[in-house]
Structure 1
Amino acid sequence: MRSDPGFYDYWPYHQRPQLKWPNGARVAFWVAPNIEFYELNPPSNPHRKAWPQPSPAVPGYSIRDYGNRVGHMRQMKLLDKYGIRGSISLSTALCDHHPEIIDLCRERNWEFFSHGIYNTRYTYGMSAEQERSMIRDSIETIYRHTGQKCAGYLAPALSHSEDTLDLFAEVGTELFGDEAGFYTCDLFHDDQPTPINLRSGKRFVSIPYSLEMNDTIAYVVNKVEPRRYGQMLKENFDRLYAEGAESGTVMCIPTHNYQVTCPHRLRAFEEALEYITGHSDVWVTTGREIAQYYLDHFYDTAREDMASKGIVQRAEVANP
């Protein structure tokens, strides 16, 4: 029984080589809209129920349908206003159910990364081959509908397995070479990108995707009021911006189009976006661009720094 996940090493935040973003930016800022599809009557999974109520789960289904019908249009217009290209955590079944949403995002050059096929079908209980098949299907679907070679992954409903990162990196490389399958959002351990240990040895990175700033966690789990959520976003940014003067940081706002874009919540979100993008030394970007820049400019330095401090890769521990 290992004592930690084994995907990354303990590498103290305050002793790392300086990280510099393009044009001297202090913070790399990205917004990750989760654009999902929830089935009304999904296949049952003994490890987790999709809905708290008996089938058909009309209330849960319909509010999420509201997100794709109404909320997405609001959020897209708002991100356009502040020059933000979304990095979509995509339930890839949406490509078939709502191709018009895909087209609108593709026209805006938004990034698409995989969030599985349906957000009501979990990794829990899958064999490695079943998970590999699901990951492959999602990557191929994104490419077929958008032309993008999927670079990132967030497990459906955060149902991560011990094999997820290895499988995603391997499938992406099999399909498209090193242009795909090189970052994860499934680890929540840092405020900067960090190298990740894989059995393949592929250059792979985790980029910060904040559960604390996630609108569903804020509104549903922590019962935060909209005004307070907006203030939390600003305070989170202020801290990362201050620390970014010494070494670049990353701020992510993960959203859901049936949460943050409800009419009574939208103003607080907009005020936070206006505040953050009002700073000139913020790199407003996408998940893929953050990961690629880090891989190109800092990954090797990070590994060298770890080695100089006696921090060794533990791929053999992560994959016994």
Structure 2
Amino acid sequence: MHGDPNLYDFWPYRDRPKITWPGGKKVAFWVAPNIEFYELDPPGNPSRKPWGRPHPDVVPYSARDWGNRVGHWRIMDVMDECGVRGSVSLSVAMLDHHPEIIRACVDRDWEFFSHGIYNTRYSYGMTEAQERAVIEDSIKSVRDATGQRIRGYLAPALTHTERTLDLLAEYDFWYSCDLFQDDQPQPLKVKGDKRLISMPYSLEVNDVITYGVYHQSPRAYADTLMRHFDQLLEEGAETGTVMCIPLHAYLVSHPHRIGPFRDALRYITGHRDDVWVTTAKDIAEFYLANHYDQTLADIQARGCARAGTGFNPAPAESAEGAR
């Protein structure tokens, strides 16, 4: 198909085989605090500028620094109150820059997955050796600091190469958050006999988009989260769905925003009879063990499967995506 990256099969949502989450839950719900470091004067990348104005620019740097100094502690308080363990989208350099935040996450038994080294250094133009080095550093650094073996990946600032997914599978990752094609997990096409799934993340209810692009009010954002959840809960009665809320402390944690977010999180976690409040790693592990093969069989039976793995763009088009 012209321009199709061929990373996954087209798999119509209607009439899929039933996904049942543990305990018969209808929605698998996870929260992804992005714990990031933005450099004041990062190295340039010809494909994308890290800051809108010439840098070094202390204004946006300090706004994001506020998130690490103040905002994360507010997010943690709200998530503690609602009994939610985070799945941390981690700029791995944070292990060195702000180990206090990492220790607080470890104390709460939060999951970590890699979001690259810095959110101001992009994958665009990386060689295979450079990309391997980032992945290997992420695995080793998080293990050394927390004891965890990371199983998920979100490319820094949503930048990838044509080989990213194949490398993740090779390094025994379980899930990628870099694709936004579905409300259920789905097998991805990777080389060899490896397995990797696309984990439902979100742009629509990501606070970067709702505040930075849609310019929603805090109350409107909270209402969006609750309506998003209500729809997934209704559909989850037929087959289990996934809801993720990606958060950034420098956005959602401001004093005038945190209250409405707390209301939305209380509302969602107040449906625990129907909601599996969990982590991305636990969702991936359960899906791989119980529904991965079922999904492949359904795709094959419907005639949806296409040959090939990885990027397969038209010859004149670039294989590299944009944010």
Q: TM-score w.r.t. structure 1 length?
A: 0.95
Secondary structure, aligned partner of 2:53: coil
Kindly provide the amino acid, as one letter, of the partner of residue 295 in structure 1.
Answer: L
- Structure 2: stretches of 5+ with no match in the other structure: 314-323
Aligned to 1:50: 50
Question: Counterparts of 1:109-128 in structure 2 under 5 Å?
Answer: 109-128=109-128
Aligned to 2:316: none
Secondary structure, aligned partner of 1:49: coil
Residue 148 of structure 2 is aligned to residue 148 of structure 1 = yes
Kindly provide the amino acid, as one letter, of the partner of residue 294 in structure 2.
Answer: T
Secondary structure, aligned partner of 2:121: coil
* Deviation sequence 1:164-192 (CA, Å, 0-9, x none): 1111221x23xxxxxxx110000000000
Question: Counterparts of 1:84-99 in structure 2 under 5 Å?
Answer: 84-99=84-99
Secondary structure, aligned partner of 1:106: helix
Offset of residue 201 of structure 1:
2.7
- Structure-2 separation of matches of 1:48 and 1:317: 24
Kindly provide the amino acid, as one letter, of the partner of residue 283 in structure 2.
Answer: I
- Structure-1 separation of matches of 2:186 and 2:203: 17
Secondary structure, aligned partner of 2:296: helix
Secondary structure, aligned partner of 1:15: coil
- Structure-2 separation of matches of 1:139 and 1:168: 11
* Deviation sequence 1:124-180 (CA, Å, 0-9, x none): 11122211211211221111111111100000000122111111221x23xxxxxxx
Offset of residue 234 of structure 1:
0.4
Q: Does the 8 A contact of 1:9 with 1:314 survive in 2?
A: no
Secondary structure, aligned partner of 1:103: helix
Kindly provide the amino acid, as one letter, of the partner of residue 206 in structure 1.
Answer: S
Aligned to 1:271: 263
Is 262-271 or 198-207 further displaced after alignment? 198-207
* CA root-mean-square deviation: 1.4
Offset of residue 112 of structure 1:
0.2
Which of 221, 229, 235 is matched with 2:221 structurally?
229
Offset of residue 203 of structure 1:
1.4
**Residue correspondences, number:** 312
Q: Does the 8 A contact of 1:33 with 1:257 survive in 2?
A: yes
Aligned to 2:72: 72
* Deviation sequence 1:191-217 (CA, Å, 0-9, x none): 001111101331111110010000011
Q: Does the 8 A contact of 1:7 with 1:314 survive in 2?
A: no
Offset of residue 313 of structure 1:
4.8
Q: Does the 8 A contact of 2:163 with 2:310 survive in 1?
A: no
Q: Does the 8 A contact of 2:169 with 2:195 survive in 1?
A: no
Q: 4+ residue stretches of structure 1 with deviation over 4 A?
A: none
Offset of residue 2 of structure 1:
4.7
Residue 283 of structure 2 is aligned to residue 306 of structure 1 = no
Offset of residue 247 of structure 1:
0.5
Secondary structure, aligned partner of 1:219: helix
Is 55-64 or 90-99 further displaced after alignment? 55-64
